Amino acid sequence: MLLARKRMSGSELARRTGIKQSTMSRRMTGETAFDMDDLEAIAAVLEVEVADLLPKTSALKKV
Protein backbone atom coordinates (compact mmCIF):
# COMPACT_ATOMS: atom_id res chain seq x y z
CA MET A 1 0.00 0.00 0.00
CA LEU A 2 1.20 3.50 -0.80
CA LEU A 3 0.75 4.75 2.75
CA ALA A 4 3.01 2.03 4.10
CA ARG A 5 5.67 2.74 1.50
CA LYS A 6 5.54 6.43 2.40
CA ARG A 7 5.53 5.48 6.11
CA MET A 8 2.42 7.56 6.66
CA SER A 9 -0.68 6.85 8.73
CA GLY A 10 -4.23 7.58 7.65
CA SER A 11 -4.33 10.31 10.27
CA GLU A 12 -1.21 11.94 8.85
CA LEU A 13 -2.62 11.69 5.34
CA ALA A 14 -5.82 13.36 6.53
CA ARG A 15 -3.83 16.15 8.16
CA ARG A 16 -1.68 16.76 5.07
CA THR A 17 -4.63 16.74 2.68
CA GLY A 18 -6.93 18.84 4.83
CA ILE A 19 -9.54 16.08 4.85
CA LYS A 20 -11.14 15.51 8.26
CA GLN A 21 -9.73 12.44 9.96
CA SER A 22 -13.21 10.98 10.46
CA THR A 23 -13.99 11.46 6.77
CA MET A 24 -10.69 9.91 5.73
CA SER A 25 -11.35 6.93 7.99
CA ARG A 26 -14.83 6.35 6.52
CA ARG A 27 -13.44 6.54 3.02
CA MET A 28 -10.46 4.30 3.69
CA THR A 29 -12.73 1.62 5.17
CA GLY A 30 -15.08 1.81 2.18
CA GLU A 31 -18.01 3.20 4.16
CA THR A 32 -18.13 6.18 1.80
CA ALA A 33 -16.53 6.76 -1.59
CA PHE A 34 -13.63 9.08 -2.33
CA ASP A 35 -14.46 11.97 -4.59
CA MET A 36 -12.14 13.36 -7.27
CA ASP A 37 -11.03 16.28 -5.09
CA ASP A 38 -9.99 13.82 -2.37
CA LEU A 39 -8.11 11.64 -4.85
CA GLU A 40 -6.28 14.64 -6.30
CA ALA A 41 -5.26 15.85 -2.82
CA ILE A 42 -4.12 12.38 -1.78
CA ALA A 43 -2.15 11.87 -5.00
CA ALA A 44 -0.40 15.22 -4.49
CA VAL A 45 0.59 14.37 -0.91
CA LEU A 46 1.80 10.89 -1.87
CA GLU A 47 3.52 12.23 -5.02
CA VAL A 48 1.75 9.81 -7.34
CA GLU A 49 -0.79 10.06 -10.16
CA VAL A 50 -4.50 9.71 -9.36
CA ALA A 51 -4.50 6.58 -11.54
CA ASP A 52 -2.04 4.99 -9.10
CA LEU A 53 -4.74 5.18 -6.41
CA LEU A 54 -7.31 3.30 -8.48
CA PRO A 55 -7.64 -0.47 -8.82
CA LYS A 56 -5.91 -1.96 -11.82
CA THR A 57 -8.21 -3.15 -14.61
CA SER A 58 -7.13 -6.77 -14.09
CA ALA A 59 -8.40 -6.50 -10.52
CA LEU A 60 -11.87 -5.52 -11.68
CA LYS A 61 -14.50 -8.22 -11.95
CA LYS A 62 -15.17 -9.20 -15.55
CA VAL A 63 -18.79 -9.44 -16.62
Question: Is 9 part of a structural domain of the chain?
Answer: yes
Number of domains in the chain: 1
The 10s digit of each residue's pLDDT in 4-57 is 888 999 999 999 999 999 999 999 999 999 999 999 999 999 999 999 998 877
Identify the domain containing residue 37 by its residue range.
2-53
Question: Is 60 part of a structural domain of the chain?
Answer: no
- Identify the CATH number of the domain in which residue 6 sits: 1.10.260.40
Question: Is 63 part of a structural domain of the chain?
Answer: no
Q: Looking at residue 63, what is its pLDDT?
A: 55
Q: Who contacts 23 (Cβ-Cβ below 8 Å, separation ≥6)?
A: 14, 32
